Amino acid sequence: MTAPISATTADATVSSPEVKAKAAAQTNTLVAKLWNYCTVLRDNGMSTIDYVEQLSYLLFLKMVDELAEDAWDDEEVTEIVPARYDWKSLASKRGVELEKHYRDILDTLGRSPGTTIGTIFAEAQNRITKPALLEKLVVELIGKEEWTVKGTDLKGDAYEGLLSKGASDTKTGAGQYFTPRAVIDAMVDVVQPTPDDTIADPACGTGGFLIAAHSYLRAHHMQDLDAEKRTALQRGDHIMGNELVVGTARLAAMNMLLHGIGTSDGPSLVSVGDALAEKPSGRHASLVLANPPFGRKSAITVIGQDGEVEKEDIQYDRDDFTATTTNKQLNFLQHIMSLTAVDGRAAVVLPDNVLFEGGAGEKIRRRLLDEFDLHTILRLPTGIFYAGGVKANVLFFDKKPPRADGKHHTTHTWIYDFRTGQHFTLKQRPLTRAHLNDFVTAYRPGESFSTRVPSKTPEGPWQVFTYEELIALDKVNLDITWMKDPALEDADSDLAPEVIAQEIVKDLQAALAEFAAVAEALGGEIPEDAEPE
């Protein structure tokens, strides 16, 4: 049996405060060291996301080597990487010979389709073209660290910390693959994954939702599972990820491996391709967690006969879709509605236009209210995503079997306004999990929705709306707000001028996105530089 790349066990999920503090300090030190090297490589023309990719290759080789070194004499460990292409073979070389051998390794290991190792090395290329820089990375950074320390999440936390820093590299679009961890953790805490769940993310990015759900299962259920189910949990039998971009799928596969999910030579937990191209067949998910990529249109890049590069909008003509549209988020919402198993549940981050857009949007919202139980909407604040001007929400809904009487499944929708009066920035005031404590408490995870209690005043953030109230709204517009931001109305506000200016910029960017949606709905052309990313 091949040992998992991470040796996380049930006992490792319970650590003393001292151990956690020490691990956090190690993680911060390691992230800082990794980031310093990233700065050096960026100065030599490499983007952040390219740098993280190269780290993925090297980290994998180093950890496989450590696992083989740490194995007990009587422990059966299958050879994952052939000796001539392993870490020792790489670390023993220098200069031009090292760079040439590195290219050979990438080419060879990429020929394992369908496995985690194949996903990590798919279409891999060496982008560290200066042999001296590659040698420094291999010898001084990766080679001197121990990455597979048992009983800790050092490797996973450090890698995720690097991904988080990389998300700020907006020039390469890295941020579109990164959902704030505070939002992910709050979503997972309220949906409460169980060992019986099949968990899916059809736009998994770097794997944040799947890792958080797996971590929740380890923390809350691992000790109650028998050996067979523990192995299945660690193997990732319950996880289904999909990612359109090969390079991002590689980061997700590596991120999950570092967090103790899956095995390097086992089936890949991340499929690569367009999740919207075909309707789900065979395996559905009892829990879907997702944040589909920002950007309104689904499109492909085509090269015309004249050699000009153009974008061609995609419409998905699927018989399980209520409406045919080029709107990417509406299509993902429809896909998730199909992907979710009967009696399953979903929690999905979606921009405001999904809540108010007419035409296809109205049709889809009507179906969501009628055929599903849309029980909760969380209005997220601005300033927490790397894409500017994004106003987003989390929709929580359950899929129900058809009712014999044909009546709607949604009876009440609870809306928590965590946007009005909230002011966050990525650096000066970043969102933390603690900021969402009140929402999680109000949600009452694990309890019947009938036990929920609205805010004490009609102006409070937690209010409930009946199906009849929602369906009567113009175009079934679910972009509902009732609160006023006292800080922006008060002339004596103590908000810093730069924060007020930033709020104005966000509002203007959001307004542009909404006007673009209206123009597109009317058949107008949206300039490439005016369409929100």
Please say if the pLDDT value at position 404 is more than 80: yes
Provide, rounded to the nearest whole percent, the portion of the chain with pLDDT above 90: 45
The string of pLDDT tens digits covering residues 295-354 is 655 544 434 444 554 455 677 889 999 999 989 999 999 999 999 999 999 999 999 999
The mean pLDDT value for 129-149 works out to: 82
Q: What pLDDT does residue 1 have?
A: 40
Mean pLDDT over the full length of the chain: 82
Task: Say which residues have a Cβ less than 8 Å from residue 21's Cβ, sequence separation at least 6.
Answer: none
Query: What is the phi/psi pair of residue 429, to 5°?
Result: -140, 75
- The residue ranking higher by pLDDT, 228 or 20, is 228
- 3-state secondary structure at position 369: helix
Of 109-123, 266-280, 470-484, minimum mean pLDDT range: 109-123
**String of b and e for 165-177 (b: at least 16 CB within 10 Å)?**
bbbebeeebbbbb
Residue 230 phi, psi (nearest 5): -65, -45
CB 106 within 8 A of CB 57: yes
**Nearest alpha-carbon partner for 105 in 125, 133, 130:** 125
Distances (CA, A) of 335 to 183, 208, 366: 22, 20, 16
Q: What is the 3-state secondary structure (H, E, C) of 444-493?
A: CCCCCHHHCCCCCCCCCCEEEEEHHHHHCCHHHCCCCCCCCCHHHHCCCC
For residue 527, give the DSSP letter: P
**What's the whole-number mean pLDDT along residues 112-122?**
87
Give SS3 for 51. helix
Spatial neighbors of 108 by CB under 8 A, at least 6 apart, are 82, 85
Spatial distance between the Cα atoms of 478 and 413, rounded to a whole number of angstroms: 10
Residue 76: predicted pLDDT: 53
Between these two residues, 51 and 93, which has the higher pLDDT value? 93
Which has more confidence, 188 or 523? Answer: 188
Torsion angle (degrees, nearest 10) of CA 271, 273, 278, 283: 0
pLDDT of amino acid 10: 38
Can you give the pLDDT at residue 517? 56
Task: Give the DSSP letter of residue 11.
Answer: G
- What secondary structure does DSSP assign to 233-275, as a single string? HHHTTTEEEEESSHHHHHHHHHHHHHTT-S-TTSB-SEEES-T
Half-sphere exposure of residue 177, counting CA atoms within 13 Å on the CB side? Answer: 27
